[in-house]
Amino acid sequence: MNSRNGLAEVSSKDFKLEHDGLGFSVSSQVAVAQTSALAAKELAAIHGVHVRGCLPHYLNLLLKDQLLKEFKEQKLPQTAVGPTSISILQGTPPAPGAAGSFGWRITATITVRNIRLPIYIYILGFVYGPAEVSLVSYGTLKPFPAAGQEHLYWLLLKRAKAHSV
């Protein structure tokens, strides 16, 4: 979530682990909207049809653009990047005490030199008062471990309750 007229916004560092072709990454973001009503309105927009329709197209362009940049840096032929496929499942993870929540499981498959590479992106978030909190985890070849993701999500919710704005 991104508050256009927010009072504050802060992101954690992007924590990464890469080993034997597997890659995992996780980060969080907190934005404080001017009012709780504005934060709730942004949450409603995330649940809307427009976002669900635009997101796959945007992610497809973003992934291809990122791959093309990496290929250019490594002086590899850019024609090696093939088609991508993107699947998005939307849900509502529990967030007791929050005004609402959202969850997206994004599975993308990128073809590079006829090799299909799966990428898993999970975006979980909730609104607590005017605070918009999100957790993004990313995995290549395998999803980010669910137990770690759940622990971090509940930790963010606990912190939001302890530091309510």
Q: Is 131 within a domain?
A: yes
Report percent pLDDT > 70 for the chain. Answer: 87
CB-CB contact of 128 with 161 (8 Å): yes
Written as six digits, the tokens of 116 are 């299909």
Instruction: Please write the tens of the pLDDT for every residue from 33-84.
Output: 999 999 999 999 988 888 878 888 888 788 777 766 766 776 666 666 666 7
Q: Shortest CA distance to 3 belongs to which of 34, 24, 27?
A: 34
SS3 165: coil
Q: Is 2 within a domain?
A: no
Q: Is 78 within a domain?
A: yes
Half-sphere exposure (Cβ direction) of 121: Cα atoms closer than 13 Å = 17
Strand locations in 12-78, DSSP E? Answer: 15-19, 22-32
- Model pTM score: 0.83
User: In angstroms, what CA-CA distances link 14 with 29, 109, 126, 147?
Assistant: 10, 22, 19, 18
Half-sphere exposure (Cβ direction) of 67: Cα atoms closer than 13 Å = 21
Residue 33 burial class via C-beta count within 10 angstroms: exposed 0-12, middle 13-18, buried 19 and up: buried
Q: Is 3 within a domain?
A: no
d(C-alpha 7, C-alpha 162), whole Å: 19
d(C-alpha 63, C-alpha 83), whole Å: 10
Q: Is 142 within a domain?
A: yes
Give the chain's mean pLDDT.
Answer: 85
The separation between CA 32 and the C-alpha centre of its own chain, rounded to angstroms, equals 18
Q: Is 70 within a domain?
A: yes
DSSP state of 25: E
| Residue 23 structural domain | 8-162
Q: Is 38 within a domain?
A: yes
Report how many domains make up the chain. Answer: 1
Written as six digits, the tokens of 64 are 């291809």
Instruction: Please write the tens of the pLDDT for every residue from 68-125.
Output: 676 677 666 666 666 678 888 888 999 999 999 999 999 988 877 777 888 899 999 9
pLDDT at 81: 65
Q: Is 1 within a domain?
A: no
125 backbone dihedrals φ, ψ, rounded to 5°? -160, 165
